[in-house]
Amino acid sequence: MDRHDKEKEMASVLLSYLYGNVVSSTQIRLGFVLLLEAVDDLAVDIPDVVDVLALFIARAVVDDILPPAFLSNAKVSLSGSSKGMQVVQIAEKSYLSAPHHAELIERRWGGSTHITVEEVKRRIADLLKEYIRNGDTAEACRCIRELAVPFFHHEVVKRALTLGMESPAAEALIVKLLKEASEECLVSSSQMMKGFHRVAESLDDLILDIPSAKSEFQLLVSKAISEGWLDSSYVNSGVNGSVEDDEHEKLARYKREAVSIIHEYFFSDDTTEVIRSVKELGYPEYNPIFVKKLITIAMDRKNREKEMASVLLPSLSMELFSSEDIAKGFVMLLESAEDTALDILDASDELGLFLARAVIDDVLAPLNLDEISSKLPPNCSGAETLNMARSLASARHAGERLLRCWGGGTGWAVEDAKDKITKLLEEYESGGDVGEACNCIRELGMSFFNHEVVKKALVMAMEKKNERTLNLLQECFGEGIITINQMTKGFSRVRDGLDDLALAREEEWMAPAWVRCGIFGLNSWAEEKYEAEAAQQTQFGCVFSSFVVALAPRLAERALPGCGGGGLCRSRI
């Protein structure tokens, strides 16, 4: 595009030759899509890029490298005000809609004036009709050779197959001609496959004129493979029946819808609507792509959107996505980290924060980070980002720091949430209803932060010497409000903060009732409680007991001097 007309014409001819032999139709389309997306940048160096690229696209359509539907499909993914949209409109209205456009486009850059695409197609049609009349295979092969368009032989194959399906009487002659052309190396195997692919792509249209087109085509495919003039890889190529094209279109459509859903979410902050929309969209196999799109778009926006993306992940994890889906999404993000960094300078640091936040929010387990690491290619720059995420997630007070990493731009700020939790626990402890307390916890809408509820409830039980808040925890666990992971994390936070708690409230550690009786069982009342708990053995009880074992030695030293966590104390546990 930055050279003279001679080079432009040479580029168009080269694309025609590479098409099918080296570059697939899908790759051709993706290449032009990338050009359309980059027009705004290209315009800086090539002032007339809009018109030149429009002509390249029109030429590709005329040369049967791009399908006409490419233009309408491209419009869907382009912004209405972008230069890429201008390119599509010029190609469609100024070039492809003009009378005799094929011949005009062929000659625009001083190309051959001896023969045009339409002329080649006419000659192919004539020679095939003549062949059907006289049955002279050698003469037909000579005419094909004289056309001197080896890169366009797929048109011969396509027209011959269509003619064979239209006229059962001509089928035997068509098979003979194609077999002869293949054996003489007149038509290459790639051109032969391309011709079959083009017929497969147009079967839905052919059925309108030839009702038995699909069955006839399958018979021709079977015969061609069995006789050796069609490569057997055609059946497994993924393009048979345009499966590959359909898959590409399905993925492109999913990406467009996903981007629309994400943009709407950033505008409305409605997680429920996102979940509903993703469910309706379907294609659960593309869940990792949604994760990648969500975080990529968020990284290119302000902290508000980054926080919203982090908050959305736990909701998706609970309702729709598996941890494997989210892990795969992060693998894709890490693999493309270098490319992302070209547009977002601090992409690596931000991606590390997203990863660490996902661990803190129970979206990913720490073990998932090792799995992600094992899936990254060698020398991938994403490995450094992954190590950063590990360090952030394992640091002291990582939970509170990472919950603030984007400034808490959506929903409750961390301090507001803590204040709400404290007030609802105090209200419940002073005689409130357990059902109402559960509803309040649920309405906070911060399921990923429920470990704070667990932590504050345990600390309050120690301070008040009252087991009432423990009963609330068990009720929340039983109703599924607080997950096993959040419960475990809450107990872990209390265990890790015992030394700080002891310094702040030394007097509270002198044999508080819930420790003296509820854990160690040093009197008959505690023995009855212990036996009752042992009889229930709920999952909550198991978690509670496992952490009691870890807490006991340290609690006992403070609660009952001289016990040291051993002897009767440990045996009761």
Any idea what the CATH number is for the domain that residue 559 is in? 1.25.40.180
Please tell me the distance from the alpha carbon of residue 335 to that of residue 104, in angstroms, as a whole number. Answer: 45
Whether residue 479 is found in the same domain as residue 528: yes
Same domain for 334 and 430? no
Residues 373 and 420 in one domain: no
Q: Which residues of the chain have pLDDT under 70?
A: 111-116, 235-248, 377-380, 399-400, 407-415, 445, 447-448, 500-573
Domain annotation covers residue 243: no
| Boundary (domain end) residue, out of 346, 369, 403 | 403
Asked whether residue 139 falls in the same domain as residue 35, the answer is no
- Same domain membership, residue 342 and residue 267: yes
Tell me which of 353, 383, 403 is where a domain ends: 403
Domain that includes residue 344, residue range = 250-403
Residue 112 covered by a domain: no
Q: Is residue 244 assigned to a domain?
A: no
Q: What angle in degrees, to the nearest 10, is found between the helix axes of 287-299 and 347-360?
A: 120
Q: Is residue 561 part of a domain?
A: yes
210 and 181 in a single domain? The answer is yes
pLDDT at 110: 72
Examine the domain organization and report whether 392 and 309 are in the same domain. Answer: yes
Asked if residue 535 and residue 447 are part of one domain, the reply reads: yes
What is the Cα gyration radius of the chain? 35
**What's the pLDDT at 53?**
94
User: Is there a domain that residue 311 lies in?
Assistant: yes
Amino acid 19: pLDDT: 81
Distances (CA, A) of 89 to 85, 97, 127, 187, 348: 6, 11, 37, 36, 38
Q: Is residue 242 part of a domain?
A: no
Judgement on whether residues 201 and 350 belong to the same structural domain of the protein: no
The answer on 204 and 122 residing in a single domain is yes
Whether 89 is covered by a domain: the verdict is yes
| Total count of domains within the chain | 4
Only one residue has tokens 């009709």, namely 129
DSSP label of 300: T
The answer to whether position 50 is within a domain reads: yes
447 in the same domain as 377:
no
Same domain membership, residue 392 and residue 271: yes
Question: Which pLDDT score is estimated for 506?
Answer: 47
Dihedral pair phi/psi, residue 531, rounded to 5°:
-65, -40
> Which pTM value belongs to this model?
0.39
Last residue of a domain, one of 403, 425, 451: 403
Give the span between the Cα atoms of 378 and 387, in whole angstroms: 15
